[in-house]
């Protein structure tokens, strides 16, 4: 890659945008990435955060990311946050079954999938998140109720919300999920 300009549809996947943002600082020419219809913007925000921590400059103006050329990544230490996407399965299972689960190391971050805690609360689960200590407690066995969940910014929660909906009384609606068909697999 040499650098240059491109326009990309962010309604398919934010992964393409993150990949370009990571690669373009190493190009010999400036890069401009014009993004239309960005879904899952928190994933791009996470990419921008780690780039900034790595000393990489990215300018943002009117849905265009401008990446200066010939930059050097400089990140000596970084603590990877716990993965709320993966944790969502454990939290959901615990809310359905008569059980109690405590997950540690679940500190707030830029992950959109932290929304699972709010979804569980809305559905009637007994869930508590101590953000300062990074502890999520779920006590299962409560009757869950259906909810309307917008997954436009957290598509990885779609399978978890669907599983919760099967065990909930009433209707569960998963909204704004069309882009979930275009992930690694057709998750719908």
Characterize the bridge pairing of strands 31-36 and 4-9.
parallel
156 labelled catalytic: yes
Cβ neighbours of residue 171 closer than 8 Å, sequence gap 6 or more: 146, 165
Three-class secondary structure of residue 172 per DSSP:
coil
Catalytic residue among 49, 83, 150, 156: 156
- Residue 11 CA to residue 133 CA, distance in Å, equals 35
Query: Quick one: how far is CA 3 from the chain centroid?
Result: 27
Characterize the bridge pairing of strands 64-67 and 59-61.
antiparallel
Within 13 Å of residue 36, how many CA atoms lie on the same side as its CB?
A: 4
The catalytic residues are: 156
């Amino acid at each position: 890659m040499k650098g240059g300009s491109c326009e990309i549809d962010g309604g398919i996947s934010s992964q393409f945008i993150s990949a370009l943002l990571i690669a373009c600082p190493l190009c010999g020419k400036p890069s401009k990435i014009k993004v239309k219809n960005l879904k899952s913007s928190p994933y791009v925000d996470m990419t921008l955060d780690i780039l900034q921590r790595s000393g990489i400059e990215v300018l943002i103006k009117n849905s265009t990311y401008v990446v200066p050329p010939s930059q050097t990544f400089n990140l000596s230490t970084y603590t990877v946050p716990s993965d709320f996407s993966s944790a969502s399965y454990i939290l959901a299972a615990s809310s359905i079954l008569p059980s109690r689960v405590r997950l540690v190391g679940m500190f707030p971050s830029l992950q959109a999938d932290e929304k699972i805690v709010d979804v569980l609360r809305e559905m009637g689960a007994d869930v508590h998140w101590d953000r300062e200590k990074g502890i999520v407690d779920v006590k299962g066995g409560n009757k869950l109720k259906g909810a309307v969940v917008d997954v436009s910014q957290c598509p990885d929660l779609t399978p978890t919300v669907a599983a919760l909906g099967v065990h909930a009384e009433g209707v569960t609606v998963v909204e704004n999920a069309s882009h979930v068909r275009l992930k690694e697999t057709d998750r719908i």
